[in-house]
């Protein structure tokens, strides 16, 4: 059973370009979470999605950031018009269909975004 | 005040030592607690869940004190391979219980030969 897959693992963009980060959850998992880790900081929640639905986007910056988890295919985190402050590691996590409050989230290897 | 607070360390200990990490959380309604391990800014990996009754996994023991909103991790007989950053993690409860995790900043452990 493959783990959570993320690609690309490293992404370099110039200021003003768009960044698209992909996440394929573990087989059988229907919940996807995105977290961001800025340099020298802890992980911060961004958004929680189920198939075709955004459940909680309370951690998403108000502008330039969007996320989706379509019926088919991976979850996408999209950052438009990137700025240097967007440089960070972006981790995706998945969990199985909700069975209780103690759901374990399994993390992908992350995408390291560098904005030049 | 941060929702989850940890002493960032670093903790430098010799092999074989016993080391304890502490963590406090601010949301008294939190219900799920975890310790994750993160190596060199790779992805966090679940080390263990933490229960009120306390739980042990080999050399690792985790404790939860709900009254004090305090979580601990004890590592006995430290190995070089235990060198990592240990993340205290709490499941954030909102009205909809979305299950998002709130991470502490992490405590860095360096085990020396």
A64-68, B7-11, B41-45, B98-102: which is most confident: A64-68
In whole angstroms, how far apart are CA A5 and each of A1, B11, B28? Answer: 11, 32, 34
**Residues B43-59: tens digit of each pLDDT:** 999 999 998 888 999 99
- Interface contact B87-A106, CB threshold 8 A: no
**Which residue of A43, A103, A106 is in closest CB contact with B103?**
A43
Residue A61: predicted pLDDT: 94
Å from A28 to nearest chain B CA?
A: 18
**How far apart are the C-alpha atoms of A44 and B78, rounded to whole Å?**
29
Tell me which chain B residues have a C-beta less than 8 angstroms from the C-beta of A37: 41
Residues B1-15 have a mean pLDDT of 90
Residues B91, A102: C-beta atoms closer than 8 Å: yes
Q: What are phi and psi of A93, to 5 degrees?
A: -135, 150
| Angle, CA A44 vertex, CA B56 and CA A32 arms, to 5° | 80
Q: How many residues does chain B have?
A: 113
The average pLDDT across A70-82 equals: 95
- What is the C-alpha to C-alpha distance for residues B82 and B39, in angstroms, rounded to an integer? 10
Cβ separation of A106 and B46 shorter than 8 Å?
Answer: yes
Query: What secondary structure letter does DSSP report for A62?
Result: S
Pairing mode of beta strands B84-91, B107-112: antiparallel
Q: Does pLDDT of A116 surpass 60?
A: yes
- A2-16, A77-91, A96-110, B6-20: lowest mean pLDDT where? A96-110
Judged against a pLDDT cut of 80, whether residue B1 lies above it is answered with no
Q: Which of A41, A56, A108 sits opposite B100 (nearest CB)?
A: A56
Q: How far apart are CA B56 and CA A40, in angstroms?
A: 30
pLDDT for position A101: 47
DSSP states of B69-110:
TEEEEEE-S--GGG-EEEEEEEEPP-TT----EEE---EEEE
**How many other C-beta atoms are found inside a 10 Å radius of the C-beta of residue B93?**
18
pLDDT band, residue A99 (cuts 50/70/90): low
Residue B43 and residue A108: Cβ atoms within 8 Å?
yes
Q: Does the pLDDT value for residue B91 go beyond 90? A: no
Task: Report CB contact under 8 Å: A41, B98.
Answer: no
What is the tens place of the pLDDT at every residue in A31-47?
899 999 998 888 999 99
Q: Do A91 and B104 touch (CB under 8 A)?
A: no
Average pLDDT, chain A: 91
Q: What is the pLDDT of residues A77-95, one digit of tens each?
A: 999 999 999 999 999 999 8
**Nearest neighbour of B43 by CB, restricted to A55, A91, A101:** A91
**What pLDDT is attached to residue B2?**
82
């Amino acid at each position: 059973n493959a783990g959570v897959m993320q690609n690309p693992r490293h992404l370099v963009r110039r200021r003003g370009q768009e960044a698209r980060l992909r996440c394929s959850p573990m087989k059988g998992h229907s919940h996807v979470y995105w977290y961001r880790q800025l340099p020298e900081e802890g992980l911060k929640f961004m958004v929680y999605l189920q198939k075709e639905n955004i459940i909680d986007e309370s951690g998403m910056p108000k502008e330039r950031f969007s996320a989706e988890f379509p019926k088919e295919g991976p979850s996408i985190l999209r950052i438009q018009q990137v700025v240097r402050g967007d440089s960070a590691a972006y981790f995706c996590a998945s969990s199985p269909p909700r069975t209780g409050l103690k759901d374990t989230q399994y993390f992908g290897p992350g995408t390291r975004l560098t904005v030049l | 005040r941060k929702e989850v607070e940890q002493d960032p360390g670093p903790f430098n200990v010799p092999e074989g030592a016993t080391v304890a990490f502490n963590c406090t959380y601010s949301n008294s309604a939190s219900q799920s607690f975890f310790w994750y391990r993160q190596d060199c800014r790779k992805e966090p990996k679940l080390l263990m869940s933490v229960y009120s009754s306390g739980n042990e996994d080999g050399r690792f023991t985790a404790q939860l004190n709900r009254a004090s909103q305090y979580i601990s991790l004890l590592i006995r007989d430290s190995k070089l391979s235990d060198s990592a950053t240990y993340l205290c993690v709490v499941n954030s409860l909102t009205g909809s219980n979305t299950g998002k995790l709130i991470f502490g900043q992490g405590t860095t452990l360096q085990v020396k030969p």
